[in-house]
Every structure is written in structure tokens, then in C-alpha cells.
Amino acid sequence: MHKDEIICTIQGVSKLYRVKKGFFSAKTMEIQALDNVSLKVRRQEILGLVGESGCGKSTLARLILGLEKPSAGKINFEGIDLSALKGDHLKRFRKKVQMVFQDPFSSLNPKKTIFQIISQPLRIHGICPRSELRREVRRLLEMAGLHNPGIENRYPHEFSGGQRQRIGIARALATRPDLVVMDEPTSALDVSIQAQIINLILDLQESRNITCLFISHDLPIVEFVSHRVAVMYKGAIVEIMPKERFGLVQKGLDTPHHPYTDFLMKSVPVPTPEASMCGTGQTDHDLEEPFEVKSSRWDNLSGCKFYPRCPHATQKCKDEKPLPVEISQGHTIFCHLFTPSDKELGTNEV
């Protein structure tokens, strides 16, 4: 098994949703949740996916998990096209790809004991004999840092948010998956608990060699956990880079980024003594300005989607979709600011 091996290929994937225009209206309109997304997930990496709320992160997660079908494009997992999966192949796929949800309160069935919750995937996929189920559930709980004896006989409401997320992680790892999609796994947790869950995820990823798609809108967390980071804006990937180039730690150094990534990074609050005394975080950037745009203007753009918000926008940005430019090894940006050279990829695959 080689680390550069591709486990999942997302190729030119778009997703349209048809929604009612208003509560009483019979008219419908289309929402483009994903627009021609291409991405390769490498085996045993943690690929971070960041972008503001509504940019399509969870939609991409649902498509990778096979819970919904793309409107266009293909998703390939270990060489098999997801749209062709049926019967035993589909069951095998469900065993290999698991999910950790954002909300540890609603993602566990309140009527079932922890034993029932974690043993279900073990039974469905025949992971271990019936007589071994209890021992395996205890082993998984221990692995997720839950050591109290008899814990498996209790119900979800008896646990705190952090403990429930540990249970969710134990359940996801029960089938010994190759790929785990984590959609905002720490967003519902207190900051101190977030750190514990992040450390658990890092330990497990390393000890069990899993591949992880880690979705979050929290840049410092994504930078901390990921090997590579992809940035999404309005349903499209705008930049993908190795963690070292993501650059919150390199703030002030001269790493070039897509203007949207720059904007996101500058929006991360920088704690200063004055700000702590006033109870506010200081940002380098005024979030209100100059980015006031009506949402309807985003969807019909023929050029770059960030054009209406971009301080560097030109006529070309308005008219033409930017092609990916690999500015250094593994660092690709979709932006006209970066001139295509001989390193230009020419496709939108990253």
C-alpha cells in the first residue's frame, strides 16, 4: 500500500438541487451546490476541506458516501464507479467508507444502548462472530478513549457531547473502514473537548492507517489535522495545497494564495491582549467590506465565482473560468492572477 495511491477520485462532479421558489409558490429554481469539482483523495492522508457555510462541503460528503448521486461527473472509489455499485459490491463499499457526523446528539439512536449501536455494523458486515461481539464493542470503546466498565450498557443521553462523539467515532471505525468522511466532527463541541477529539482522530488515523476527508469551516483546526487542504467557494474548488503552504502558521511569509483563501485566512481572529480585555478577537480584515453581494449574482457567472467579491478582479475574471495552475509541487490555484506557465495542468484535476 503506497501513500501516493489514489483511493477516491472525484471527477467533474456537479450537483443541482431543484427547490421551490417560495413557501406558497409552485415555481421552482435550481441551486448549484457543486460545480465541476475534481479532487483526488490519497490513501492514508487527511485531506482537509474548508469553505464558508453553504459552499457545498456536506453535499460533496454525501456524494462520496453514495447517499446521493451527482447530477454530472463521476466518483470512483478504489477503481470502482459508485454509480455502478449494487448488491454485494454496494455492501462492501458501505463497509469500507464510513462517516462521522457533526452533531453527536442527533447521530446516535436514543432508544438503543451503546452496545446495540456499535454492534449493529459489526453484525451487518459479519466483522466478528456473535460470541465475540461484546468483547469487540468494548475494544472499540477503549480505542476511542472510553474506559469505564459497563459503559456499553448505557444510553446516549447519559453521555456528554465529547463522549458521544467518541462513541460515533468507535461506531465509524467498527467496520475497519479505509475512508472515513468527517463532516464538521468537532463543531458542536466545547473548545477544550474539541482538542481531545482532534488528538483522538490523529492517533487513530496513524495507528489504523485510515484515509480521512476532514470537513470544517474552522481553519486552524483544518491546518492542525490535515496533510493537504482544499478550499471550496460556491461549489467549486479554488485552491488545493500541502498543509505547509496553507499558511496560518506562515502568516506574514510570502506564500501566494487564491484571493478567497487569503480572505479566509485574514478573517481568522488573532488574539491580542487588547482584544482579550475587550472580549473580542481582532481580525486583520474588515469582514463587511468590500464583499457585499446579492446571492443571485453568484450563480450565473460565466467567469470566476469569486469575481464579485475579489479585490483584484479584472474583466477576464468576469468572462472566463480560471484554469488550474500548479504554482509549486502539489499547490494548485484556480485564479487568473496566476499566469499559466508550462506547469499548467490544463484540466481541473487536482
Ligand X SMILES: Nc1ncnc2c1ncn2[C@@H]1O[C@H](COP(=O)(O)OP(=O)(O)O)[C@@H](O)[C@H]1O
In the window 139-158, what residues touch ligand X (CB under 6 A)? none
Instruction: Tell me how far, at minimum, the Cβ of 309 lies from Mg ion, in Å.
Output: 20
Q: Please, which of residues 80-109 interact with ligand X by CB under 6 A?
A: none
For position 56 contacting ligand X by CB under 6 A, the verdict is: yes
Partner that binds at residue 33, options Mg ion, ligand X, none, CB closer than 5 to 8 Å by kind: ligand X
Determine if 53 is a binding residue for ligand X (CB under 6 A).
Answer: yes
36-65 mask for Mg ion (x: CB under 5 A)?
Answer: ---------------------xx-------
Nearer to ligand X, 300 or 339 (CB): 300
**Per-residue binding letters, 4-43, with ligand X (x by CB under 6 A):** -------------x-x-----------x-x----------
Q: Which listed option, ligand X, Mg ion, none, makes contact with residue 55 (CB within 5 to 8 Å by class)?
A: ligand X
Q: Does 59 bind ligand X (CB under 6 A)?
A: yes
Question: CB under 5 to 8 A by kind: which of ligand X, Mg ion, none does 95 bind?
Answer: none
Q: Which of 37, 55, 221, 240 binds ligand X (CB under 6 A)?
A: 55
* Part in contact with ligand X (CB under 6 A); list of ranges 54-62, 80-88, 103-111, 152-160: 54-62
List 58, 76, 116, 267, residue binding ligand X (CB under 6 A): 58
Can you give the chain as a three-state secondary structure string?
CCCCCEEEEEEEEEEEEEEECCCCCCCEEEEEEEEEEEEEEECCCEEEEECCCCCCHHHHHHHHCCCCCCCEEEEEECCEEHHHCCHHHHHHHHHHEEEECCCCCCCCCCCCCHHHHHHHHHHHCCCCCHHHHHHHHHHHHHHCCCCCCCHHHCCHHHCCHHHHHHHHHHHHHCCCCCEEEEECCCCCCCHHHHHHHHHHHHHHHHHHCCEEEEECCCHHHHHHHCCEEEEEECCEEEEEEEHHHHCCCCCCCCCCCCHHHHHHHHCCCECCHHHHHHCCCECCCCCCCCCCCCCHHHHCCCCCCCHHHCCCCCHHHHHCCCCEEEEECCEEEECCCCCCCCCECCCCCC
Using CB under 6 A as the binding criterion, the count of chain residues that bind ligand X stands at: 12
Output the smallest distance, CB 301 to ligand X, in A: 15
If one asks whether residue 298 binds ligand X (CB under 6 A), the answer comes out as: no
Residues of the shown chain interacting with Mg ion in the complex, contacts defined by CB under 5 A: 57-58
